[in-house]
Structure 1
Amino acid sequence: MAVPILEEQGIQPVIKTISSTNDISQAMNALINEEVDGIYLVTDNYIAASMTLVGEIGKEAGIPMVGGSNDMILENGLATYGLDYYELGVQTAEMLVRIIDEDLDPATTPVELANYLELVVNEDYVNAIGIDPQEIYGLMEE
């Protein structure tokens, strides 16, 4: 979904995939060698489990890394306006209660997007790559 939006903005995305945690160093180094301006980390179990490594590679290269989950960013990324898994669990439980109480068919119950997203900025990462955190917070005001 992000690719067409980026391309409309004149940004050429570079996409790297991994199939295990063993691929992370190679993928990160390939992105750094491409001299990318930033990295978007999808919410992925392999990446989440390796955020210490991913973040250290990003910091060393001075590359901003944003992601889809608060936990990943708090571990070792720059920022996200993303998921809080606790809040998503509450929303999911509310859906389940509705399905049971209203005797709904789960197969035809519409998928919901997260109702709660939160701006999370990891100030350690921000400081490590020399970005003013107020620039990030300011983006939310625009």
Structure 2
Amino acid sequence: MTKKWLAFLIIALFSLLSLVACGTSEDAEGEQTSGSESGEETDQEADQEDEQSYTIGATQIVEHPSLDAAYEGFKQAVEEAGLDVKFDLQNAQNDQNNASLIAQNFVADNVDLIFANSTPSAQSALQATQDIPIIFTSVTDAVGAGLVDGMDQPGENITGVLDLHPDAIKNTVNFIDSYFEGSTVGLIYNAGEQNSVSQIEAVKAEIEGSSLSVAERTVSTSAEVQQAATTLVGEVDVMYIITDNTVVSALDSVVGVANDQDIPLIVGEPNSLKKGGFATYGIDYHTIGTRAGEMAVEVLTGEKTTADIPVEYPAEMQLFINKGAAEEQGIEWNEEWDEKAQFVEPE
């Protein structure tokens, strides 16, 4: 091989090595660029994970204005907290078996929290799970219903807001005793609802020692309410309908009897006044729903657990009166009510 050819081969070899080195460098740069883009995607994924989404299963025993108002207050409070939440509202149509099935389905769906709107709904939810947090409201006696051990002893996965102020029944009975002295008070309720049994026992306890007496009828379905009210005619001077889900869902039939027979109709909450009740010492269900929603936000965000949040009574209570119902039921107006009561317009 001549020196000329040897020199040519050496130059070609160096050129080839340079090209290989260049390609390796470009590949390395390309890999570096790709790694940077991957890092940006990882950051975006982390941001998306920070924006947590939740599913709340809402179970309600029956549809009526008070429970509906509590749900709306709950939903509003959660939404105003800015959480990304999907609400799955299920109505049991006043059937305990349906309430149990709804709760079981929520557990199977692994919802993040259960909102139980009524005593039967809360009982069913607690029977279905000890792991998923439960926030309840529209419950009258959480201890008597077996939901918690005490007001300041919430469960490991359950707490909430009651729908009965501790002085509501006492004040209502005093109101009837003061303005309808000597009356027989008609009570209609579903004995299968623990919520109702607790209230009826409290009513009877307050009536003892007063000028009043009691006549009661029990029902198991809404279809039986009108007949129960009719059988009280001629036996009672006043009717007092507590916050019984079965009876309140058919309150129109009781109002019809009260209006036709000039029987004052005392009720357990303001929404029943809008349906034609005359008076109540009651609370605002939207407000207790709102407070339950605030509790749910604390639990979902990890700020607190249900065990950290004591069961609460409603914050406020007062006398509400429907003037139109007073006229329909033949009630003689007392001027004291003008100063004591907040007036509610019928629907």
TM-score scaled by structure 1?
0.81
Match for 1:66 among 250, 266, 281? 266
**Residues of 1 paired with 2:325 and 2:210: CA distance?**
26
Considering fraction of residues, name the structure with more helix. Answer: 1
Q: Does 1:37 align with 2:237?
A: yes
Specify whether residues 41 and 137 from structure 1 end up closer, same or farther in structure 2 by C-alpha distance, changes over 3 A only: farther
Q: Which has the larger radius of gyration?
A: 2
Kept in 2, the 8 Å contact 1:67–1:79? The answer is yes
Q: CA deviation at 1:18?
A: 1.2
1:127 alignment partner in structure 2: 327
Kept in 1, the 8 Å contact 2:278–2:322? The answer is yes
Q: CA deviation at 1:26?
A: 1.8
Q: CA deviation at 1:108?
A: 7.0
Unmatched 5+ stretches in structure 2: 1-201, 342-347
Kept in 2, the 8 Å contact 1:126–1:133? The answer is no
Match for 1:23 among 224, 233, 245? 224
Summarize deviations over 1:24-74 as a string: whole Å, max 9, x none. Answer: 12211222232x121111112332222222101011111111111211111
Specify whether residues 133 and 52 from structure 1 end up closer, same or farther in structure 2 by C-alpha distance, changes over 3 A only: farther
Amino acid paired to 1:19 = S
Unmatched 5+ stretches in structure 1: none
**Residues of 1 paired with 2:216 and 2:338: CA distance?**
27
Q: CA deviation at 1:22?
A: 1.7
Match for 2:251 among 29, 41, 51? 51
**Residues of 2 paired with 1:91 and 1:125: CA distance?**
31
1:4 alignment partner in structure 2: 205
TM-score scaled by structure 2?
0.36
**Residues of 2 paired with 1:118 and 1:82: CA distance?**
6
**Residues of 1 paired with 2:224 and 2:308: CA distance?**
38
**Residues of 1 paired with 2:246 and 2:320: CA distance?**
21
Q: Output the aligned Cα RMSD.
A: 2.3
Summarize deviations over 1:58-106 as a string: whole Å, max 9, x none. Answer: 11111111111211111111111212111111121233344555423x2
1:130 match: secondary structure: coil
Kept in 1, the 8 Å contact 2:222–2:247? The answer is yes
Kept in 1, the 8 Å contact 2:319–2:340? The answer is no
Considering fraction of residues, name the structure with more strand. Answer: 2
Match for 1:113 among 291, 298, 313? 313
Match for 1:85 among 258, 272, 285? 285
Kept in 2, the 8 Å contact 1:48–1:72? The answer is yes
**Residues of 2 paired with 1:50 and 1:102: CA distance?**
41
Specify whether residues 87 and 134 from structure 1 end up closer, same or farther in structure 2 by C-alpha distance, changes over 3 A only: farther
Specify whether residues 50 and 8 from structure 1 end up closer, same or farther in structure 2 by C-alpha distance, changes over 3 A only: same
Kept in 2, the 8 Å contact 1:88–1:116? The answer is no
Match for 1:13 among 214, 224, 227? 214
Identity %: 28
Amino acid paired to 2:315 = N
**Residues of 2 paired with 1:16 and 1:133: CA distance?**
30
Amino acid paired to 1:92 = A
Q: Does 1:76 align with 2:276?
A: yes
1:16 match: secondary structure: strand
